[in-house]
Amino acid sequence: MEVSDTGHGEETGGADVNDEDRSAHQPARVLFDVLGIAYERAFAGSEAHQASLQRLLGDLAPRSRVLDVGSGTGRPTADALAAAGHEVLGIDISPVMVEIATRQVPEAEFRCADIRAVPLNEAPFDAVCVYFALLQMSREEQADLVSRLVRAVKPGGLMVLATVPADVEGAEVVFMDQPVRATSFTRDDFVAMLTRAGLLLRAEQSLMFTPSRPGAEPEPHLFVHCQRA
């Protein structure tokens, strides 16, 4: 299953990887260190992502505290939230992405860490964003992380997630010319996982999105807006 088949030959803003790294399925840190700003160029223009952010902004109280999981280059998510006056903490496993985000969105705070190992206190956030940050985790890891993130949201607080819905587990995929393993859920199983974690589904959008790269193929995207029960 090829998620995107465009070249790595253009400027990426990330570090080169050696032949041994390229022959292996890359962990998230290595993958996004390599992709760097090229990831933003390919995906930040998603109208559905922008619409999801506008919905979230309309639901948030002024000066809300928001956790952005897998914050990437800071655009569009942290940038939109910070520009609206919210307090944003972005967590990303890629030091290259964190460096770019810190430079591009100085109004937000970014930390380089594996969110699975980050201690999360009970209810410090008004909202949590998880845009496409789960796909290189196992289904068990995804479910465990979502449950922890739900507890990090205030009662009645918001969680917005986006994923590529598919019945795949440990699948060998090519993402922007990089070999990785991907795991996901069907739409129904994804929503069921969120419900078990204590979330109430408020809205969703399913669509096909084509990344802004030469030769890219359409891929399914699912955006889900939830509230902590």
pLDDT for 113: 97
Question: Under DSSP, is residue 101 helix (H, G, I), strand (E, B) or coil?
Answer: helix
> What digits encode the pLDDT tens for the residues 168-192?
999 999 999 999 999 999 999 999 9
* Tokens 């594996």, located at residue: 114
Percent of the chain with pLDDT over 90: 83
Backbone torsions φ then ψ of 69, nearest 5 degrees: -85, 125
What count of other Cβ atoms lies within 10 Å of the Cβ of residue 174?
14
CATH topology of domain 19-228: Rossmann fold (3.40.50)
Q: Along the 229 residues of the chain, how does pLDDT read in single tens digits? A: 333 322 222 333 333 333 333 334 568 888 988 999 999 999 989 999 999 999 999 999 999 999 999 999 999 999 999 999 999 999 999 999 999 999 999 999 999 999 999 999 999 999 999 999 999 999 999 999 999 999 999 999 999 999 999 999 999 999 999 999 999 999 999 999 999 999 999 999 999 999 999 989 999 999 999 999 9
Return d(Cα 170, Cα 11) in angstroms, integer: 29
Mean pLDDT, the chain, integer = 89
Give the burial class of 8: count Cβ atoms within 10 A of its Cβ; 0-12 exposed, 13-18 middle, 19 or more buried: middle
161's tokens:
């997630």
Locate the domains of the chain by residue range: 19-228
